[in-house]
């Protein structure tokens, strides 16, 4: 399958942890080779657009957030949350035509993860997970491996305790450790041999920050092991 075929498929893909995207910030993101701008205004949800200004193609992720608008770095064209151009500094008296619009994409925040859908129809739903409330961020990492290699690596790991693995959707994986801990892995295919991995945890009982910090270090070990060729053992707490 070509990368561009994957881009247009009607599916939701996790591209970041919601907690990573601060208000009034913009970030470059790549999904299946397609360059995107992930940004959040001073209030409200994050948004994902093509990383290309409709004027002369400057990356919008380089731009500035002002209020709930995104202003292009190059000539200052300013885009509202719906993607329409609202102001052109070189022509302050001109009302920009509605045809000047950034290319916007479906965006949702669920389970502490920001999801994007690049299809025009957006008919699919964000995957349903068990035990829906209470997901907390662990860590995002990038791996030098394909998404299938990363999924295999997650499934084949020896977690050092009883573990059950399931895939609620393509590029999504749940690992249940013991009786009270669920890890959710959202895979972001970046290119043929590069993948983003966004991890959240759901535990029964009170959230334990030290445990989440330990899980974050374990995710880094998982990344290193997959990049080294797979196999390996989920590190015991005593070795971290
Ligand atoms: S390229 Fe963005 S305003 Fe000119």
Q: Map out the domains of the chain as residue ranges.
A: 3-117, 136-239
* Mean pLDDT value across the chain: 88
The whole-angstrom separation of Cα 81 and Cα 40 is: 9
Contact 216, 208 (CB under 8 A): no
71 conformational bin, left if phi > 0, alpha if psi -120 to 50, beta if neither: beta
Closest CA to 39 of 87, 3, 83, 95: 83
Whose CA is closest to atom 4 on ligand 1?
75
Q: Residue 163: which pLDDT band, with cuts at 50, 70 and 90?
A: confident
Q: What is the pTM of this model?
A: 0.89
Phi, psi of 43 (to 5 degrees): -150, 160
The whole-angstrom separation of Cα 213 and Cα 187 is: 20
Q: How far is the CA of 76 from the centre of ligand 1 (A)?
A: 6
Contacting residues for 77 by C-beta, under 8 A, at least 6 apart: 53, 54, 55, 71, 85, 87, 88, 89, 96, 100
Q: What is the pLDDT of residue 96?
A: 96
Which of 63-72, 81-90, 126-135, 171-180 is the least confident region?
Answer: 126-135
Residue-wise pLDDT tens digits, 173-196: 999 888 778 899 999 999 989 999
Q: What is the pLDDT of residue 199?
A: 97
Q: How far is the CA of 7 from the centre of ligand 1 (A)?
A: 25
Contacting residues for 47 by C-beta, under 8 A, at least 6 apart: 38, 39, 40, 41, 81, 104, 107
Q: How far is the CA of 52 from the centre of ligand 1 (A)?
A: 9
Residue count of the chain, please give it. 240
Q: Is the pLDDT of residue 20 over 50?
A: yes
DSSP state of 62: G
CATH topology of domain 3-117: Rieske Iron-sulfur Protein (2.102.10)
Q: Residue 136: which pLDDT band, with cuts at 50, 70 and 90?
A: very high
Q: How far is the CA of 74 from the centre of ligand 1 (A)?
A: 5
Contact 239, 225 (CB under 8 A): no
Q: Residue 8: which pLDDT band, with cuts at 50, 70 and 90?
A: low
Which of 15-24, 32-41, 152-161, 204-213 is the least confident region?
Answer: 204-213
Whose CA is closest to atom 3 on ligand 1?
75
Atom of ligand 1 at shortest distance to CA of 57? 1
Name the class of domain 136-239: alpha beta
Distances (CA, A) of 145 to 22, 107, 110, 226: 28, 25, 26, 7
Q: How far is the CA of 204 from the centre of ligand 1 (A)?
A: 49
Residue-wise pLDDT tens digits, 187-236: 999 998 999 999 999 877 666 666 788 889 889 989 998 998 854 444 44
The DSSP element (H or E) to which 87 belongs, if any, is strand 85-87
Q: Is the CB of 77 under 6 A from ligand 1?
A: yes
DSSP state of 84: B
Atom of ligand 1 at shortest distance to CA of 88? 3
The encoded tokens of residue 206 equal: 């009170």
Alpha helices in the chain (DSSP H): 3-7, 147-156, 209-227
Average pLDDT of 49-75?
98
Q: What is the pLDDT of residue 120?
A: 81
Q: Rg for the chain (alpha carbons), in Å?
A: 20
Q: What is the pLDDT of residue 68?
A: 97
Q: Is the CB of 58 under 6 A from ligand 1?
A: yes
The preferred substitution site among 37, 51, 55 for testing ligand 1, maximizing ligand atoms within 8 Å of CB, is 55
Q: How far is the CA of 165 from the centre of ligand 1 (A)?
A: 46
Atom of ligand 1 at shortest distance to CA of 75? 3
Q: What is the pLDDT of residue 236?
A: 43
Residue-wise pLDDT tens digits, 41-59: 999 999 999 999 999 999 9
């Amino acid at each position: 399958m070509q990368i561009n075929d994957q881009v247009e498929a009607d599916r939701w893909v996790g591209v970041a942890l919601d907690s990573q995207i601060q208000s009034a910030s913009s970030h470059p993101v790549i999904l299946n080779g397609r360059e995107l701008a992930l940004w959040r205004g001073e209030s409200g949800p994050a948004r994902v657009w093509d990383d290309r200004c409709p004027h002369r193609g400057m990356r919008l992720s380089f731009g500035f957030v002002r209020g709930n608008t995104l202003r292009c770095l190059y000539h200052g064209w300013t885009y509202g949350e719906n993607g329409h151009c609202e102001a052109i500094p070189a022509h302050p008296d001109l009302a920009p035509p509605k045809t000047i619009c950034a290319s916007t994409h479906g965006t949702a925040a669920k389970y502490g993860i920001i999801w994007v859908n690049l299809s025009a129809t957006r008919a699919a739903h964000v995957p349903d997970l068990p035990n829906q409330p209470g997901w907390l961020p662990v860590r995002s990492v990038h791996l030098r491996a394909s998404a299938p290699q990363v999924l295999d690596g997650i499934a084949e790991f020896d977690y050092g305790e009883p573990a059950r693995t399931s895939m609620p959707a393509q590029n999504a994986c749940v690992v249940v450790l013991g009786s009270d801990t669920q890890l959710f892995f959202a895979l972001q295919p970046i290119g043929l041999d590069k993948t983003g991995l966004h991890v959240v945890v759901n535990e029964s009982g009170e959230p334990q920050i030290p445990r989440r910090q330990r899980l974050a270090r374990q995710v880094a070990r998982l990344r290193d092991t997959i990049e080294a060729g797979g196999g390996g053992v989920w590190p015991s707490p005593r070795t971290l």
